[in-house]
Amino acid sequence: MRIRLFCLAILISGYCNVASAILPEQGIWWNPAEGGRGYGIEIQDNFIFVTYYGYTSDGLSAFYTSGGIYSITSNSASVYFASFSNGQCFGCAYQGDPTPNVIGNATLTFFSAMSGRIDLPSGLSIPIQRQLFFDTQPRTNLYGTWHLTSGALGVYFGQALWIQAPDDSLEGGFRGRVIDGSVERILVGAPAEDGTVAVLVDSSPSYYTFYSFEWSVNRWVGRSWTYLKTSQLSGSGLPFFGSRILGKAYSEQGATLSNDVSPVPQVLDVGTLDSVLATRQMLESTGGAQTKSAFAGDRVNNSVEGLRSIANSLAITMTAEQLGAQPYQE
Q: What is the pLDDT of residue 304?
A: 85
Instruction: Give tens-digit pLDDT for 223-255.
Output: 999 999 999 998 889 999 999 999 999 999 887
Q: How many CB atoms lie under 10 A from the CB of residue 173? A: 18
**pLDDT tops 90 at residue 263:** no
Phi and psi of 194, rounded to 5°? -85, 5
Q: Which residue has the higher pLDDT, 133 or 226?
A: 226
Q: Over range 204-228, report the average pLDDT.
A: 93
Cα dihedral 138, 140, 144, 147, rounded to 10, equals 0
Mean pLDDT of the chain: 85
pLDDT, mean of residues 56-78: 95
21-130 folds as Lipocalin (2.40.128)
**What is the rounded CA–CA span in Å between residue 148 and residue 5?**
10
Q: With 0-12 CB in 10 A as exposed, 13-18 as middle and 19+ as buried, what is 235?
A: middle
Is residue 16 within 8 Å of residue 23, measured between CB atoms?
A: no
pLDDT higher than threshold 60 for residue 88: yes
DSSP designation for 71: B
Mean pLDDT over 139-148 rounds to: 93
Read off the pLDDT of residues 172-196 as tens digits, 9 standing for 90 and up: 999 999 998 888 899 999 998 888 9
Specify the 3-state DSSP secondary structure of 256. Answer: helix
Buried b (16+ CB within 10 A) or exposed e, 113-140: bbebbbbbeeeeebebebbbeeeeebbe
| Domain definitions of the chain by residue range | 21-130, 138-323
- The answer to whether residue 151 scores a pLDDT higher than 50 is yes
- Helix, strand, or coil (residue 47): strand
**CA pair distance 87, 84, nearest whole angstrom:** 7
Res 321: pLDDT? 84
CA–CA dist 183, 193 (Å, integer): 30
Task: Please name the helix (run of DSSP H) or strand (run of DSSP E) that holds residue 139, with its range, or none.
Answer: helix 138-142
Residue 205: predicted pLDDT: 92
CATH entry 3.40.50.720 includes domain 138-323? no
> Cα–Cα distances in Å, from 60 out to 63, 103, 108, 321?
10, 18, 25, 55
Residue type, 75: N
* pLDDT score for 5: 42
Q: Give me the count of residues in the chain.
A: 330
Which sign does the torsion angle of CA 166, 307, 179, 181 carry?
negative
- For the beta carbon of residue 231, count every other beta carbon within 10 angstroms: 10
- What mean pLDDT comes out for the span 193-218? 92
- One-letter amino acid at 200 equals L
Please give the residue that has the higher pLDDT: either 260 or 257. 257
